[in-house]
Amino acid sequence: MKGGNEVDCHVPAALDSHTPRVDFFIRDDHCFWYGKDVQKLGLDKRPAAANGISQIWEDKPQKTEDDTDQENVEEFACKQTLPVFACASKVPPFSEWKRCVELYEAAPTFQVFMSKDPKVKKGPALYFYHPNLEVCESVLRKLQEYGNFSIEMKSGKSPDVAELLILKAEACPKMIVKRVPQKCELYQAIFEKATELLNLAKDKQLVYKGEFPSQVCERLRLEVSKPTRHKWTQKERESVRTRQGELCECGATLEAGKFHLDHIVPLFDGGKDALDNLAGKCLSCHGENRKQNALGRYTEAASIRNCLGTY
């Protein structure tokens, strides 16, 4: 490190698919490194992180509690980085969480949360929030004397700070209390306002889930920095098709309403989201161009990864 915030790195003279490397990702102020034995790589040349993440977000049938994960992501999970991604989509939005005081009021029987369904324990967990889990635990421990329920504390990146309190009671779903910042309601309001101003999909993009200030700022930065795309009208689309003589660059005929628009100079490369930077393409050419653009966007990230992760 140089000056505490700059990375001094070296790029080997010749980089190829056989160049040794170490994969990593950064979350808040921590850098997680992980790898896989060369003997275990086989024919899979993808980074362990890409392999693990791609398997996480695939549409899969819901597993039961007794199922064991036999996928080839052990090298990713062993560093406790897998849960960061795997749980992200399962946690409900903060707007559905309850204040911890509702948990106190329901103790020690938690009858208000009980269900007649015997499978309720395998259903979605109930989420509560509190800025100090030690205080929450202390209150529940006292109430535990009058009821039959268990309490378990889970630490996060720091073993000295509890991040989750898991409470299990008879005939109730799992109840989870998550540590949140003092100004969590403010951060939720910021996300909601940003969603409105940036015209994002409500409850799908920029959904607050109890993140702390550094995570809130990073997520806002990522959303604000994304290029916004113009929604072209049918008249504008037809003007592009007419300009090209109703032909794709490959010679295929562009049928009305059955062709794609593509940026001649990609947005990530400084291109403008304007009519004069648009080209009409058939499905085949557009698909191929998207692959090339994706490769271009990956090039810069890959070069940084190779600089930092090659030894």
Task: Let me know: does 254 contact 248? Beta carbons within 8 Å.
Answer: yes
Q: Per-residue pLDDT for 104 more than 60?
A: yes
- The model's pLDDT over 265-274, given as tens digits with 9 standing for 90+, comes to 887 777 888 8
Q: Is the peptide bond before 108 cis (omega within 30 degrees of 0)?
A: yes
Q: Say which residue the tokens 């940036």 belong to.
A: 198
Task: Determine which of 110-114, 164-168, 263-267, 289-293 has the lowest per-residue pLDDT on average.
Answer: 289-293
Calculate mean pLDDT across residues 85-100: 79
pLDDT: which is higher, 187 or 69 = 187
Calculate mean pLDDT across residues 104-115: 91
Strand 149-155 with 126-130, pairing: unpaired
Q: Residue 63 to residues 72, 84, 168: CA-CA distances in angstroms?
A: 17, 18, 20
Beta bridge partners of 127: 176
Positive or negative torsion for Cα 11, 36, 158, 132: positive
pTM for this entry = 0.52
The residues, ordered by sequence, that sit 6+ positions from 204 with a Cβ below 8 Å of its Cβ are: none
Q: Which of 274, 296, 193 is nearest to 227 (CA)?
A: 274
* % the chain with pLDDT above 70: 62
23 burial via Cβ count (<10 Å: 0-12, 13-18, 19+):
buried
Q: Which domains does the chain have, with CATH numbers?
A: 23-58+71-86 (no CATH), 94-179 (no CATH), 184-225 (no CATH), 234-309 (1.10.30)
Q: Residue 135, Cβ neighbours under 10 Å: how many?
A: 11
Question: Quick one: pLDDT band at residue 65, thresholds 50, 70, 90?
Answer: very low
Task: Let me know: does 143 contact 104? Beta carbons within 8 Å.
Answer: yes
* Dist. CA 285–CA 280, nearest whole Å: 10
Q: Where are the beta strands (DSSP E) in the chain?
A: 23-27, 30-34, 98-99, 126-130, 149-155, 162-169, 175-179, 260-263, 278-281
- The model's pLDDT over 217-230, given as tens digits with 9 standing for 90+, comes to 988 988 887 766 77
pLDDT: which is higher, 219 or 311 = 219
Q: Residue 198 to residues 193, 202, 205, 222, 263: CA-CA distances in angstroms?
A: 9, 11, 10, 12, 22
Amino acid at 72: N
Question: Quick one: pLDDT band at residue 10, thresholds 50, 70, 90?
Answer: very low
